[in-house]
Homo-oligomer: A and B are copies of this chain.
Amino acid sequence: MKNIKVCIIGGGSRLWAIQFMKDLAVKKMSNIEINLYDIDYNAAKNNVGVAKRICEVNNCPQFKIVAQETIEKSLEGCDLVIISIEPGLTECRYGDLIVPRKYGIYQTVGDTTGPGGILRAKRALPLFFDFAKKISEICPDAWVINYTNPMTLCTAALYKGFPKIKALGCCHEVFGMQRFIASLVSKWFDVPTPDRHEIHLDVTGVNHFTFATGAKWNGIDLMPKLIELANDESIYKDLTDVCNKKIKEEKWFDCEEHLIALSFLKHFGVLGAAGDRHLAEFVPWFLSSLEEIHSYGIPDTPYDWRVRIANEKKNKIFKDDELFIEKAKEEGVDILRALFGDCDLYSNCNLPNRGQITYLPKNRIVETNGYFTINSITPSVAKEPPILIQNMIRRVSDVQDATLKAIYEDDNDLLFSAFIMDPLMKLPIKKAKELFDEMLIESKIKY
């Protein structure tokens, strides 16, 4: 593999960026040169130090790493751009999450879809139009990997800003479902839990609202057993106690029961292939009240906690044992290796629709499997899910499309049209307008 120059936009992050550098270290990717860019330059500079310490602690060869003061400089000569940012202060989540509650609209995450996702898009997309423009001017041949939510819309915004961009969106949600099925396989076949890579899922949908039309392990079709499980009424117990325990322990991201994913299989014939806290936000049935969603064992990540943690992270000084690595976690490094010729990879990815999803218009950003090899990603044709699932996905994608257009053209009337079409919206139009206006103001204040 040749030398690779990588720019990380959002390089001051204490989470994603550090994990990525750990992974680079553990895979001994010494032919990598990294530019960290962050609107908070000091955060990026701190991360340079952390990166160096990671290599020392783990006895890995140092890779070249610099914090850059401008985005232009950080993009210069880059082969790969990674974008993982927070659009606006964490305090913006108040408008995204808390304001809608006053109107009876509940969201478990609120960063992808629902009123929260749309307002977050309103903050994020202008940045992405601009990133794309800069990339088109400075490093048009670079590959671009986006990790930012709303994933679909941010990636779409990159293509809107620079149609020839080589960008993809990456997300881990499918991996969680693979792990869940791996644990079932262990039980069903009385074998040690397989690695998640051994569970082959046929993925179709849009990010965070993805479905598995097929599931295999070792060539064995798992769908019959999964359907049997989904149709077993006894699994749909009230999990409010489980949820309360999670809340107490601040385990906000735990949703390993996957009852909502299984509900889709039971009622609509395909398995949800993202975490329940995401899936729940794309349909009107699970978030009618907090009690309802809690009964599925799913806590809603609280605004207060998000703000507190964000501040803690900011000031955190990493201890050496936190930097010690056993094995890589992020698929990001494997994608990097595949795109630059070190290996081939077959995995899920978010790309413009060239036909991989037959039931959505061309060019929408969609999630399917794809084959990664040197300087190339080719999406696989996804199997068509049943009509009603196609319809749900289509609705999400159409609302995303209207949202993209509205933000690109700065047209708040169209944005409101998209807003009331969101599956979580059930307010009378006038109430919806009040909410929308209030959120717009909140989103601006805190930005």
Interface residues of A, Cβ cutoff 8 Å to B: 200, 202, 216, 218-221, 263, 267-268, 284-286, 288, 292, 340-341, 344, 346, 354-356, 358, 369, 371, 373-376, 378-383, 387-388, 390-392, 394-395, 398-399, 401-402, 413, 416-418, 420-421, 425-429, 432
Contact = CB atoms under 8 A, between A and B. Distances in A.
Nearest to A266: B413
Given A285-B420, A285-B429, A355-B355, 13 more contacts: A219-B374, A220-B375, A267-B429, A285-B428, A288-B428, A369-B371, A369-B378, A371-B371, A371-B380, A380-B380, A391-B394, A391-B398, A394-B394
Contact of A354 (B375, B381, B413, B417): B381
A22 B174 CA distance: 42
A375 B216 contact: yes
Nearest to A397: B391
A202 B355 CA distance: 15
A378 B381 contact: yes
Contacts of A382: 355
Contact of A418 (B355, B388, B429): B388
Contact of A395 (B216, B341, B391, B402): B391
Nearest to A354: B381
A374 to B, nearest CB: 4
**What number of copies of this chain does the assembly contain?**
4
Contacts of A375: 216, 219-221
Across the A-B interface, the 7 shortest Cβ-Cβ residue pairs: A219-B375, A219-B374, A355-B358, A355-B381, A391-B398, A378-B380, A284-B426
A390 B427 CA distance: 21
Given A375-B219, A398-B387, A401-B387, A285 B380 contact: no
B381 A356 contact: yes
Contacts of A340: 219
Nearest to A370: B380
A192 to B, nearest CB: 17
Contact of A292 (B218, B399, B428): B428
Nearest to A214: B376
Contacts of A395: 391, 395
Contact of A426 (B263, B288, B354, B355): B288
A432 B288 CA distance: 12
A230 to B, nearest CB: 12
Nearest to A267: B417
Contact of A346 (B221, B371, B401): B371
Contact of A374 (B218, B286, B392, B420): B218
Contact of A381 (B381, B391, B402): B381
A343 to B, nearest CB: 11
A379 B376 contact: no
A210 B369 CA distance: 24
Given A285-B420, A388-B398, A202 B263 contact: no
Given A380-B381, A381-B356, A398-B388, A285 B373 contact: no
A421 B202 CA distance: 24
Contacts of A216: 374-376
11 contacts: A216-B376, A218-B341, A219-B341, A221-B375, A268-B417, A284-B284, A284-B425, A288-B426, A355-B381, A388-B402, A388-B417
